[in-house]
Amino acid sequence: MENPELYIEALVFASEQSIRIEEILYCLQAAFERDFTLDEVTACLANISTKYSAEHFAIELVNINNGYQFLTKKAYHPVISLLQLQRSKKKLSQAALETLAIIAYKQPVTKTEVEQIRGVNCDYSIQKLLEKELIAINGKSDALGKPILYGTSVLFMDYFGINNIEELPHIKELTDNSTSIGEQQE
């Protein structure tokens, strides 16, 4: 193994929460089939910490909860707060979520088709979904008047953490038939 520091840095970076020294030791020993000492790992962590304490890095190595994690330096917190505020404003209303669900499952679909399913006007919801780039215009229908066809965008996949439309839950999985009309309740 050429440089254990790089592997330790990668482990800290890839960890969703703080990673303990014992976890780092386990991973290194399992991957390289050699014993690493606590002192070796601690020295590597100290070197990584020193490296990221330089001014030209926006992140630093922090010892939190008996583990190590990369965090943004305090000087950059105002900018990060703005990003989080901006992203929190991107939350969708119930009407927008319903409209988006219809478009996702029925795409390509016209606004009229969405409105027939929802039973209400969808102008505002469609406009907001277009602004948030969760849906896109996919052309025009051959129907009378050539209405616009809508479908989901690449950002939709990102927003919901899926790779393709097939990963959406099937409609049967979402419906609860436990209290159908005509069934007797106890």
Determine the distance from the C-alpha atom of residue 125 to the mean position of all C-alpha atoms in its chain, rounded to a whole number.
22
Same domain, 63 and 98: no
- Does residue 185 carry a pLDDT above 70? no
Would residue 102 count as lying in a domain? yes
Structural domain count, the chain: 2
Same domain, 110 and 170: yes
Same domain, 17 and 65: yes
Is residue 108 reached through a cis peptide bond, with omega within 30 degrees of 0 on the bond before it? yes
Residue ranges making up the domain that contains 28: 4-76
Q: Which helix (H) or strand (E) holds 158?
A: helix 154-160
List, for residues 133-166, the tens digit of each pLDDT value.
899 999 999 989 999 999 998 888 877 777 888 8
The whole-chain average pLDDT of the chain stands at 88
| CATH code assigned at 27 | 1.10.10.10
Same domain, 27 and 58: yes
Same domain, 48 and 98: no
